[in-house]
Amino acid sequence: MTMPLPHSDRPLKIGTRGSPLALAQAYETRDRLMAAHDLPDDAFEIVVIKTTGDRVQDRPLKEIGGKGLFTKEIEEALLGGGIDIAVHSMKDMPVAQPGGLALDCYLPREDERDAFVSHRYQSIADLPQGTVVGTSSLRRRAQLLNRRPDLQVVEFRGNVQTRMRKLQDGVAEATFLAMAGLNRLGLADLPRYAIEARDMLPAVAQGAIGVERRANDAETAALLAAIHDRPTGLRLAAERAFLAGLDGSCETPIAGLARLEGDEIWLRGEILRPDGSEALTDEGRVPVAQGAELGRDMAERLLSRAPKGFFDWRQG
C-alpha cells in the first residue's frame, strides 16, 4: 500500500521554538523531508510554539524547572494533534519522554564542540585573572571554574543574538556557545574559537537535532525513517544512556561525548561539582551494539567513585 504524503491541503505541521536557531533546525528538517520524498515546501507548515524556557529569561534554568522547560509545551501540542512532528535540540531533551511519543529520528550531527566567544580574547588561557565570563550552562560554569577558579562567572541567558548584545554591552568579556548553532546560523564572522573536546567535554547530544512524533503515527514514522542518520542515533544512544544513569538534568553538571571508530564506539563522560572544585571522568570503548550498555556502566562507575557529599547540591 502506498504511503499518503503530505500536501498543500494537508501539510505536515512541524512544531518548533521561535528562536532563529530553532527555526533554522525546523527548516533543515523540512528541507531534508522535501528532498527525500520529492515534496514542495507548501506540503509543510512551520508552527512556532513559545515554551516556558523562552518566556522566562531573567532567572537561571535550575530555578524554574530544568530541561523540560524547552520541550513541555511543544510535546503537549504534539500529543494534542496540533502539530505532527517536533524538532528539538537534543541537548535540551530530558531522557524521559512523555507516554505516547517516540524519538527515533536524528539528523546528521553537526560539530559537537563548544565555542569560546569574545571580542578581545581568543581562548580561556588568554583571560586575565578576575575576568567576567557569562554563561547560563551549569556544565560550562563548572568546567571553566575547574580550570580557572580565578575567573568570575555571571548568568548569561538568551539566544545567540541576545548573548552577543550582552558582550557588546560589556556584561561580560567572553561567553560560550555551541559550534553547531553558530554553523547552522551561518555566523562565520562572529569571533569564535572552537574548544577541543579534550579541553572542554561538550554537553550530552550537543550538535544533534531530534525529530519527535506520536508513537502510534505509522505514516509519519515512515516519512521520518528516510532522513534518520544512523551514526548519530548510535552515538546518542550511548550518551543519553550515560545521562539517564546519572539522573541528569539542567541542575546537573554533566558532560559526555561518543564517537564511532570503525565497528567500535568510544565514550567519555564527566561529572563535576557546580563550583568546579572537583571533576570525575571516565571513558571506554565497546562494539557499536553495546553503546547504551557502556553509557549505563560508565554512569555507575562514576557514581561509585564520587566521594561522600559530591551530590549534596542535588538535594535542594
Catalytic residue, candidates 84, 92, 114, 217: 92
What is the Cα gyration radius of the chain? Answer: 20
Closest by Cα among 243, 234, 231, 233 to 296: 243
Closest by Cα among 171, 174, 170 to 151: 174
In angstroms, the Cα distances linking 30 to 24, 38, 49 are 10, 11, 17
Closest by Cα among 188, 183, 48, 202 to 113: 202
DSSP assignments along 40-104, one per residue: -GGGEEEEE---HHHH--SS-HHHHTSGGGGTHHHHHHHHTTS-SEEEEEGGG--SSPPTTEEEE
Closest by Cα among 226, 228, 222 to 2: 222
Cβ atoms of 3 and 71 closer than 8 Å:
no
* Residue 92 is a catalytic residue: yes
Show which residues are catalytic. 92
